[in-house]
Amino acid sequence: MQELFKKAWKKILESKNIVLAAHINPDGDALGSSLSLYPILKEIGKKVTIFNVTKPLPMYLDFLPNFDKVTDKLPKNYDLLISFDCGSFDRLGIEERPKFLINIDHHISNTNYGDINIIDPKAASSSQVVYNMLKANNVTIPKESAICIYTALVTDTGSFQYESVTDKVFEMAADLVKCGVKPDFVAKMLFQRDRLSRLRLLAKAYETIELCCEGKVAFVEVTKEMMEITGAIKDDTDTIVNSVRAIASVEVACMLREDEDGIKISLRSKNYADVSKIAVKYGGGGHIRAAGATIKDEFDFEKVKNMLKNDLKEIVKIEE
């Protein structure tokens, strides 16, 4: 990995016009990781574009330094594209292959679509991979970058709750605090600016919770109608599946959301089930404990639930 970090940094130093990009519908890690390199690359005189196809961007991340610089327009000519937290090239929303691509990620399902691929499935966040790359090259981390790296870490570890959280993660968090991050500020920005519409949506969604497989599997539904009645937006659905997983008996929680193009499934497991396999089966991807997919042109919730029940009933039987 150290070799890759050095090779990637060398390529970055050699490039003039750099695009930083993350996956469609970015989460804290995707956006935080891509924003984290912006001040560092600007400081060393690079022309930098932060690209994301999603409109509007999730507003709960608007406190991240340089959030306002994100654009959905690519420059005409650029030397290097760095992708963050993105498992496959098509999720970037970029048609043409760039001249050179550095792929920085921690998804187990990453398809290695870059010219340099720095994939660490053990990393708690893609921002940890970025952090390790900066450290390997003795780069000083400014406060603006530290806030982005730290926010990405907090969001992707469920506030330091997951198995991915190691001594290294806490060492990194401590170092980022030394770089100027105020953890209470990040926590307040992320978790104390809730929208009333989100709470109203939660109330409706929770009513649909259904348990099966001896209580080990839970389904929760979000329909278009619920979103319309409550005035909720897609961002408001982000954490529903996590709170359903919190039910004592549940190993796998699954949210089904009615989207324009089909049913979006979000899968979360607690202790032993590998949900990334199921997401991949439906054309999606993710991690062992958090994965997702969109089942295109399918709008029948019961049908999708039955398919998932079939996939999950054996998986949740095995206990470690």
d(CA 292, CA 276): 8
According to the binding rule CB under 6 A, does residue 65 interact with ligand 5GP? no
Cβ 110 to ligand 5GP shortest distance, Å: 9
Q: What is the footprint of Mn ion within residues 113-132 (CB under 5 A)?
A: 126
- List the one residue from 5, 18, 29, 38 that touches Mn ion (CB under 5 A): 29
Q: Which is nearer to ligand 5GP, 226 or 290 (CB)?
A: 290
Window contacting ligand 5GP (CB under 6 A); options: 42-50, 87-95, 167-175, 178-186: 87-95
- List the one residue from 254, 294, 305, 315 that touches ligand 5GP (CB under 6 A): 294
Which residue(s) pair with 210 in the sheet? 219
According to the binding rule CB under 5 A, does residue 156 interact with Mn ion? yes
Which residues, at least 6 apart from 162, have a Cβ–Cβ distance to it below 8 Å? 124, 289
Window contacting ligand 5GP (CB under 6 A); options: 94-102, 142-150, 224-232, 282-290: 282-290
According to the binding rule CB under 5 A, does residue 105 interact with Mn ion? no
According to the binding rule CB under 6 A, does residue 287 interact with ligand 5GP? yes
Q: Which does 32 bind (CB under 5 to 8 A by kind): ligand 5GP, Mn ion, none?
A: none
DSSP letter for each residue of 162-201: STT--HHHHHHHHHHHHTT--HHHHHHHHHS---HHHHHH
Q: Which is nearer to Mn ion, 202 or 284 (CB)?
A: 284
Q: Which does 127 bind (CB under 5 to 8 A by kind): Mn ion, ligand 5GP, none?
A: none
- List the one residue from 64, 85, 103, 268 that touches Mn ion (CB under 5 A): 85
According to the binding rule CB under 6 A, does residue 58 interact with ligand 5GP? no
Q: Which does 105 bind (CB under 5 to 8 A by kind): Mn ion, ligand 5GP, none?
A: none
Tokens 């969001």: give the residue.
155
Each residue 245-274 as x (binds ligand 5GP by CB under 6 A) or -, in order, gives: ---------------------x--------
Q: What is the footprint of Mn ion within residues 231-290 (CB under 5 A)?
A: none
Positions touching Mn ion (CB under 5 A) are: 29, 85, 126, 156
Positions touching ligand 5GP (CB under 6 A) are: 87-88, 91, 266, 284-287, 290-294
